[in-house]
């Protein structure tokens, strides 16, 4: 009995010493992990803020893009902190990095279309072929840009409808921007009866066009005969105006030309 009690006492003391050693060892690891997490969280937010401020100062960089890059930097740092914390407990970080890489590859393949939209959104925000407030046209969509995001672009159509276009559909097709250039050429086609005095009609058209202050003097407006048939003569009027006034100028001049020709007794065809 004395021998068994002595053996039990020795086993208990051995277990207690091992538990104490493990507690001391892992207490330092836990304390170090907590410190790493706190410092990593603080530094990731600080570095992310610095990155956002620095990227935002770059000419032509959109705020959305600056926010995206700053978030990427922050989460990359947090991932590094996570791997480092696991290393504090003796976990093989190489296998974790490999697993994370494989998981990232699988997620990338699963979200291939979404990643294409993100890549296209980044290019749209960097190169800026379209901006908020501009009217654009592609082979599939047209409208005024309301917002350019990382995944999709929001537009308002001419008849007031809401339209969301995936960024990949905008990046992979030519874009006609109706608002980007400050000046724009306008062309009006006027057909009159074949018996009308061509010189008189041409002089009247030039007088009307040049009399509008919104029509630019350079390049100079011009009027020329485009087609002559058995019953009509077609004149083409070309002029340049400010893009912001392009539509109103066209409508007003069309009304003025019609009224003037009717006053002159010239029938429109």
**Residues in the chain, pLDDT under 50:** 1
How much is the pLDDT for 214?
Answer: 94
Same-domain check for residues 191 and 169: no
How much is the pLDDT for 243?
Answer: 93
Same-domain check for residues 72 and 97: yes
Same-domain check for residues 200 and 256: yes
For residue 64, the number of C-alpha atoms closer than 13 Å in the C-beta half-sphere is 17
- Buried b / exposed e along 115-150 (16+ C-beta atoms within 10 A): ebbbebbbebbeeebbeeebbbebeebebbbeebbb
Same-domain check for residues 210 and 227: yes
Neighbouring residues of 256: CB distance < 8 A, sequence distance ≥ 6: 208, 212
Same-domain check for residues 8 and 101: yes
**pLDDT above 90: percentage of residues in the chain:** 35
How much is the pLDDT for 200?
Answer: 92
How much is the pLDDT for 181?
Answer: 93
How far is residue 47's CA from residue 70's CA, in Å, rounded to a whole number?
Answer: 8
* Residue 134 falls inside a structural domain: yes
| DSSP three-state, residue 245 | helix
Q: How many CB atoms lie within 10 A of CB 21?
A: 10
Domain count, the chain: 3
* Residue 118 falls inside a structural domain: no
How do residues 42-51 score in pLDDT, each as one tens digit?
A: 888 888 888 8
How do residues 147-205 score in pLDDT, each as one tens digit?
A: 888 788 999 999 999 999 999 899 888 999 999 999 999 999 999 988 888 899 999 99
Same-domain check for residues 9 and 104: yes
CATH number, residue 207 = 3.30.70.100
Same-domain check for residues 90 and 143: no
Contact at 8 Å (CB) between 231 and 269? yes
How much is the pLDDT for 102?
Answer: 64
How much is the pLDDT for 223?
Answer: 93
- Buried b / exposed e along 219-244 (16+ C-beta atoms within 10 A): eebebeeeeeeeebbebebebbbeee
CATH number, residue 98 = 1.10.287.1260
Among 162, 177, 192, residue at a domain's last position: 177
How much is the pLDDT for 69?
Answer: 75
Contact at 8 Å (CB) between 121 and 149? yes
- Crossing angle between the packed helical segments 63-88 and 93-110, to the nearest 10 degrees: 150
Same-domain check for residues 79 and 141: no
Q: φ and ψ at 62, to 5 degrees? A: -75, 155
Among 75, 108, 141, residue at a domain's last position: 108
Q: φ and ψ at 156, to 5 degrees? A: -120, 120
DSSP-assigned letter for residue 122: H
Among 59, 74, 108, residue at a domain's last position: 108
* Residue 55 falls inside a structural domain: yes
CATH number, residue 171 = 2.30.30.60
* Residue 116 falls inside a structural domain: no
Percent of the chain as helix, strand, coil, to the nearest 5: 60, 20, 25
* Residue 30 falls inside a structural domain: yes
Full domain range(s) for residue 55: 2-108
* Residue 163 falls inside a structural domain: yes
* Residue 7 falls inside a structural domain: yes
Same-domain check for residues 33 and 7: yes
How far are the Cα atoms of 82, 182, 248 from residue 186, in angstroms, in the given order? 62, 13, 11
* Residue 268 falls inside a structural domain: no
pTM recorded for the entire structure: 0.62
What DSSP string describes 173-236? Answer: S--EESSSSSEEEEEEEEEEETTS-HHHHHHHHHHHHHHSTTB-SSSPPEEEEEEE-SSEEEEE
Same-domain check for residues 214 and 170: no
Same-domain check for residues 102 and 147: no
């Amino acid at each position: 009995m004395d021998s068994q009690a002595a053996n039990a006492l020795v086993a208990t003391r051995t277990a207690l010493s091992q538990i104490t050693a493990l507690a001391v060892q892992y207490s330092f690891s836990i304390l170090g992990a907590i410190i790493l997490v706190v410092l990593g969280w603080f530094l990731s937010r600080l570095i992310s803020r610095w990155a956002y401020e620095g990227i935002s100062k770059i000419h032509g960089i959109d705020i959305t893009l600056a926010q995206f890059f700053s978030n990427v930097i922050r989460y990359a740092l947090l991932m590094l902190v996570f791997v480092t914390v696991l290393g504090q407990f003796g976990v093989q970080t190489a296998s974790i990095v490999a697993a994370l890489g494989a998981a990232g590859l699988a997620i990338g393949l699963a979200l291939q279309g979404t990643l294409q939209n993100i890549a296209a959104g980044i290019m749209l925000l960097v190169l800026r072929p379209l901006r908020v407030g501009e009217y654009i046209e592609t082979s599939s969509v047209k409208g005024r840009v309301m917002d350019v995001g990382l995944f999709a672009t929001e537009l308002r159509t001419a008849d007031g409808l809401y339209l969301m276009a995936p960024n990949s559909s905008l990046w992979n097709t030519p874009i006609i921007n109706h608002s980007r250039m400050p000046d724009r050429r306008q062309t009006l086609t006027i057909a009159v009866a074949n018996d009308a005095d061509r010189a008189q009609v041409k002089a009247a058209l030039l007088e009307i066009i040049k009399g509008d202050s919104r029509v630019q003097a350079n390049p100079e407006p011009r009027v020329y005969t485009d087609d002559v048939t058995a019953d009509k003569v077609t004149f083409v009027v070309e002029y340049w105006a400010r893009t912001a006034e392009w539509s109103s100028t066209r409508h007003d001049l069309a009304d003025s030309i019609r009224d003037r020709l009717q006053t002159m007794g010239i029938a429109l065809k």
